[in-house]
Amino acid sequence: MLLRIITGVVGIGLAAAVIQAGGQLFALCALLLAVLAWMEYVRAFAHKGGNLAFLIGIVAIVSLWGCAWKGFPAEAAVMVLTLAALACLLAAVLLRSQMNFVDAALSVCGIYYLGLPFAHMVLLRSLEAGRIIETSLLPFEYGAALVWVMFIGTWASDTFAYFVGSAIGSHKLCPSISPNKTIEGFMGSVVGTTATVAGLGAFFSFPVLEMAALGLAISIFATLGDLVESVAKRHVGIKDSGNIIPGHGGVWDRFDSVLFTAPLVYYFVVLTNLLGKGAL
């Protein structure tokens, strides 16, 4: 537990520095995390005898990241995803003695599942580049504020679910997938995350009611992201995706919820025109 706490504190400090710095540092860190998560994903399915298209995945994930970082039109990302899917399926034909159709399908799934959310994280940090939000604490770039909302909301969801579930949880949420999750913990996550993100809305001068709605959505999406990774790990028969983060497992373990909440926050901001409503 002590190692877990120390690693968590160090990780939060590093994350804060990277989020505030933004720019190329943030983008490169997002790319590194995406590549590491892909490596863990490939290794997880290899544990059950799978042989995924590792190199195709690396090229596709780096290309998706490049589309987000360089601000290429959406058609470029669609092209990358199309070519990656076709390449994986073709590999099942050309390398049929080593790779089967299921491996190809799992490869395509992993590229979409891991590559797109980390690309959206870069897009989120890049929104309204140069626009500053003045707060009682310090000035924040608009994109940095949104990334903080995404991360703090996701962390709040996990934290409230854990403590409320540990204290009063008695009804299992999805016992066949994640035996430790409870309905009471999930409800604690919903209430706590909604309040937390609404509070962040007030802090950053965003519309509080809309931010409360975002908090509600984050609590749901974060839980779903956690369950998706849990069902994948149960399928392949592993407890952790890796051990690169002492006491916390792998990158996939730590970012399973973020894989769902990063795209959520990005599209919520864009579709609700939050850009034009807050932090004026």
Q: What would the two tokens of residue 277 be? A: 């409503």
Residue type, 250: G
Asked if residue 102 and residue 142 are part of one domain, the reply reads no
Residue 249, pLDDT score: 82
Residues of the chain predicted below pLDDT 50 = 279-280
Asked if residue 145 and residue 280 are part of one domain, the reply reads yes
Residue 84, pLDDT score: 98
Asked if residue 122 and residue 52 are part of one domain, the reply reads yes
Asked if residue 62 and residue 79 are part of one domain, the reply reads yes
Asked if residue 186 and residue 78 are part of one domain, the reply reads no
Domain around 197: 132-280
Asked if residue 278 and residue 139 are part of one domain, the reply reads yes
3-class state of residue 179 by DSSP: strand
Backbone angles phi, psi at 141, to 5 degrees: -70, 150
Asked if residue 275 and residue 165 are part of one domain, the reply reads yes
Asked if residue 192 and residue 165 are part of one domain, the reply reads yes
The C-alpha angle with vertex 78 and arms to 72 and 81, in degrees rounded to 5, equals 115
Residue type, 262: A
Asked if residue 180 and residue 158 are part of one domain, the reply reads yes
Residue type, 132: I
109: nearest Cα among 177, 163, 56: 56
Which ranges of the chain would DSSP assign to H, the alpha helix? Answer: 2-21, 23-46, 54-70, 74-94, 101-110, 116-126, 142-168, 183-204, 208-236, 251-255, 258-271
- The structure's pTM equals 0.93
- The verdict on residue 17 lying in a domain is no
pLDDT digits (tens, 9 = 90+) for 83-127: 999 999 999 999 988 999 999 999 999 999 999 999 999 999 999
92 Cβ contact list (under 8 Å, min separation 6): 99, 100, 101, 103, 104
19: nearest Cα among 272, 207, 258: 258
The C-alpha angle with vertex 89 and arms to 63 and 94, in degrees rounded to 5, equals 110
Which class for 70: exposed (0-12), middle (13-18), buried (19 or more C-beta within 10 A)?
A: exposed
Number of domains in the chain: 2
- The verdict on residue 202 lying in a domain is yes
Residue 279, pLDDT score: 47
Residue 121, pLDDT score: 98
- The verdict on residue 6 lying in a domain is no
Last-in-domain residue among 126, 143, 167: 126
Count of residues making up the chain: 280
d(CA 57, CA 106): 11
Residue 280, pLDDT score: 40
Asked if residue 102 and residue 227 are part of one domain, the reply reads no
Q: Where is 182: in which H helix or E strand?
A: strand 178-182
